[in-house]
Chains A and B, each alone.
Chain A
């Protein structure tokens, strides 16, 4: 037997080669399986189809517990372009009742990143959104024939009271900005747009759930991963209870038809808003479903700007509704007392300057001045305050104090209502006039019109209503808000903390008296409601857009007021012509539920008259 021991050593080389290969492979395995974690992610991306489970959006009730907004199922047809194979376009078009051309446009649009920035051929893309249940039913029967087509359950809003479009807001598909700003959103999600739907989005939307499905290499669903133990159930959005009284809101909209303006009604003891009518208004149901885009565009281009919520965005000269604030400052600062008389013979006259007034007995004291809305009285008072060199060193010092009083009553800054888009109005300060007229070159007479709520002073109807609530409360207000309760959540303390004004509460009683006199014997007589001691103040605001704006601010009953209101009707003339009747009808409706028979005629006249024709818009 020949045995070559030199050659036998080669077994070590051959064994070494085998061991080396195995070692290289073990190292490679270590790199793949332990060091590099990317593969795990890839594997999940491969095999898991994460199907979003959309939560039911929170319902919205009014203050009486009446369901206002609820949900209705809708169906989005989704396409995963990569998984579409052997697609029978004609059969598909037939199933969803669209033409071949329409289908092609939709697919082109879906794939166009300008319209659909999140487009990816690997993920579900919305092909047709918000099909109705009947349409879905037809498609469902043949859905199995179309690979790469899925149906995503969605919800759309339905309205029991088709009112308060700008207050309730609506739902739209998220934009690229939404997705960038909030990780919650994915392309194709819905989010609240305008109104409560927007400001309470976080509560209403709930938590999305996810269903993890296993998808094989051909894209077929092979059931739930681990029998669904990793699925996350969606959590429904929180229900909201509004402070709004749906019937009152509807009534306000009824009265405001064919008018431009706003009604804000507040419960003084809580700051809860009872009605928030912006006119012209629109039905929220027009912004639901597939017609949304078309209808939205129509609203945007409407020359009367129905999307513009005049209650919180409209900034108007408050006119004479501003006068109570002046009375309060004068009393608090001791500029005048209740017996101080000022002359008024056709108005306030000082050299060349004249602020006109209407006929009433003169000289006049504060309460009758409020009742008759005497311009002269407040001009004299304002001048007396700003020119009082014993009390204040300079005019600007006096005016700064004046401004602080006004701000403490809720003017000049946003009140902080729980709705998006509130405007702050405008209350000038000393620096403003220093800049405008240059320092030291202005005095009381230069700016006298602010005393009667004209000139630079601008306020939102909400701020005017808030003044009414403050007076009704004799000196404090709660931040006005439209949501009374959030399901399982304690409402933000900003809405339950009273804000005191700088005026002592004792002075308010006199203002209340003056405002009561306005109804009994002054400018608001048309607003008298039998059995209710309404207090009010008219306003007739001059403005650069045409006829005067008609304004009213008031509350009732005089003691323990239940409702404070501001009504503002653009270009409708005297306060007493439109704003006072509408305001008093609203109060009567709220307090008594019905309108007294003798006032039916008034109600009818208000509802049927058209003041839009006087608006500046009409002219061009």
Chain B
């Protein structure tokens, strides 16, 4: 036993542990700064949130230690039962959880409240890793794909029923895992593309250059570029790229000349260019008799359909408060008292930090409670205000380093279970970082999810710790299982 323990701690990935400890401690100091009240509550006092967080950190260390003692093969073996129990608990939570700010996601046990949704990510990651690491598993098979998606979507839907939409959206991050394990890149591209189109189309929906709607113009321009690149990459002769570029330029020239006499809607010019380029691509596909060349045309048509449906989705599908949040985060609407208050105040807090920041505990905006939720979802503001551009950039680099290190660890696993599980962890962290910091910076919509290891709260800290240290435990056994 003795020698085995030594082994495990010698084999543990030290860079990750160092980054983890740095983040957790930095988080603890930030929580103290965020809840600092001018009344001098000690950073250790259990009356203050910093003191409590220290307690949670202590517990997290015990949890991490226990995990390191654990035989992870058991986790792999019991992945399905764990998943099943988690789903049951999630369903149960809807009924037994009290109403906290409209959501039913906290189970209260005496003085301790636990949010099962924070732990269910772990169960989903295990289950997904177990399912996809099966021998001869090929994701591209429809039945496999459907099952993998079900594993992800079932808890997602249950959490939406708990009215914790933010937490539920985290499960979308598993798309990255599916992509790594063989899902078509087109789906990822379509995903990223739709988000980009959606943002462009909405952000500039009411902006016009002359009679040209700017949003529409950009989406069509992107569509045309994607069409040209896809066609020319699938038709391996240089000429295609040049001809399609000439077609586009010719359309622009005709429109430019017309523009002298009468104002031109440049979006229409792009419709014409896309149409001619699509016809050209179609001719090429007939010429080489390849169905592959129909893909770019399909993408172009889908893009245009998507463009038309954005306004419909936005106006008819989304709820008014969701519309408002999106509009505010795109800067389409200035509403510093209503939905934009949080984002506006967080931008003020961060912006006022300047290059070097106001100094630890010297931030006025966070101290005076201008930023709501400043020790949980908006904790990044405290760093931005007090440590400035330098501090916040350092924090972002630290997170990026952690995620890249997790990807590196995942890739060095010899079995698929470890790798897939590792990618699950990386995806979850990426999503949390992107949405949380994006929200605070006023880039992404306001979705209340915590910043890993930083935001105040035991549940999220333990959840992330379990996720990370399970990977590290799996990583220590990679050499022993050759």
Contacts and interface: CB of A to CB of B under 8 A. Distances in A.
Nearest to B137: A2
Contact of A22 (B180, B354, B396, B423): B396
Interface in B344-393: 345, 347-355, 364-365, 367-370, 384-385, 388-389, 392-393
Nearest to B341: A217
B443 interface: yes
Interface in B115-131: none
A24 interface: yes
The number of chain A residues touching the other chain, given as a range, is 35 or more
B400 interface: yes
A47 B443 CA distance: 25
Contact of B347 (A1, A21, A32, A48): A32
Contacts of B399: 22
Contacts of A36: 351
Nearest to B435: A21
Contact of B352 (A11, A14, A42): A42
A14 B430 CA distance: 10
B472 interface: no
Residue of A18, A34, A40 with highest tally of chain B CB at under 10 A: A18
B352 A40 contact: yes
A26 interface: yes
B411 A8 contact: yes
A601 interface: no
B400 A43 contact: no
Contacts of B185: 10, 13
B333 interface: no
B310 to A, nearest CB: 22
Given A217-B369, A217-B370, A218-B369, A33 B180 contact: no
B438 interface: yes
B403 interface: yes
Contacts of B54: none
A272 B91 CA distance: 96
Contacts of B426: 14, 18
B111 interface: no
Interface string B186-198: 0000000000000
A296 B435 CA distance: 65
B284 interface: no
Contact of B443 (A19, A24, A225): A24
A25 B38 CA distance: 31
Contact of B384 (A2, A7, A29): A29
B348 A39 contact: yes
Interface string A352-381: 000000000000000000000000000000
A46 interface: yes
B350 A29 contact: yes
A48 B348 CA distance: 14
Contact of A26 (B180, B396, B416): B396
Given A33-B351, A47-B368, A11 B389 contact: no
Interface in B400-446: 400, 403-404, 407, 410-411, 414-416, 423, 426, 430, 433-434, 437-438, 441, 443
B210 interface: no
B142 interface: no
Contacts of A17: 176, 430
A44 B348 CA distance: 10
Interface string A208-242: 00000011111000110100000000000000000
A345 to B, nearest CB: 93
Contacts of A225: 364
Contacts, number: 128
A544 interface: no
Given A32-B351, A40-B351, A216 B396 contact: no
A43 B352 contact: yes
B352 A39 contact: yes
A21 B430 contact: yes
Nearest to A42: B348
* B interface SS class: helix
A46 to B, nearest CB: 5
B76 interface: no
A28 interface: yes
B410 to A, nearest CB: 8
Contacts of B416: 2
A38 interface: yes
A46 B370 contact: yes
A19 B402 CA distance: 11
Contact of A33 (B355, B367, B438): B355
B44 interface: no
B182 interface: yes
Given A15-B407, A40-B354, A222-B38, A7 B181 contact: yes
A14 B428 CA distance: 13
A28 B369 contact: no
B443 A1 contact: no
A15 B396 contact: no
Contacts of A488: none
B407 A33 contact: no
Interface in B164-185: 176, 179-182, 185
A43 B396 contact: no
A4 interface: yes
B50 to A, nearest CB: 19
Contacts of B21: none
B313 interface: no
Contacts of A15: 404, 407
A29 B414 CA distance: 39
B397 interface: yes
A392 interface: no
Contacts of A14: 176, 179-180, 407, 423, 426
Contacts of A437: none
A13 B347 CA distance: 30
Contacts of A33: 350-351, 353-355, 384, 388-389, 392
A509 B134 CA distance: 130
Nearest to B393: A26
Contacts of B423: 14
Given A29-B350, A39-B350, A217-B368, A34 B433 contact: no
A184 interface: no
A10 B180 contact: yes
Contacts of A1: 414-415
Contacts of B354: 33-34, 40
A474 B368 CA distance: 74
A30 interface: yes
A22 B369 contact: no
B437 A25 contact: yes
Nearest to B362: A226
Contacts of A28: 441, 443
Interface string A46-81: 111000000000000000000000000000000000
Contacts of B385: 43
Contacts of B351: 32-33, 36, 38-40, 42-43
Given A25-B396, A217-B369, 14 more contacts: A10-B179, A14-B179, A17-B430, A22-B397, A25-B437, A25-B441, A25-B443, A29-B396, A30-B389, A33-B353, A39-B351, A43-B349, A43-B364, A223-B38
11 contacts: A4-B182, A11-B180, A28-B441, A29-B350, A33-B353, A39-B350, A42-B351, A43-B385, A46-B364, A46-B365, A218-B369
Interface of A: 1-2, 4, 7-8, 10-11, 13-15, 17-19, 21-22, 24-26, 28-30, 32-34, 36, 38-40, 42-44, 46-48, 214-218, 222-223, 225
Closest 9 CB pairs of A and B: A39-B351, A43-B352, A47-B364, A216-B368, A33-B389, A22-B400, A32-B351, A217-B369, A42-B348
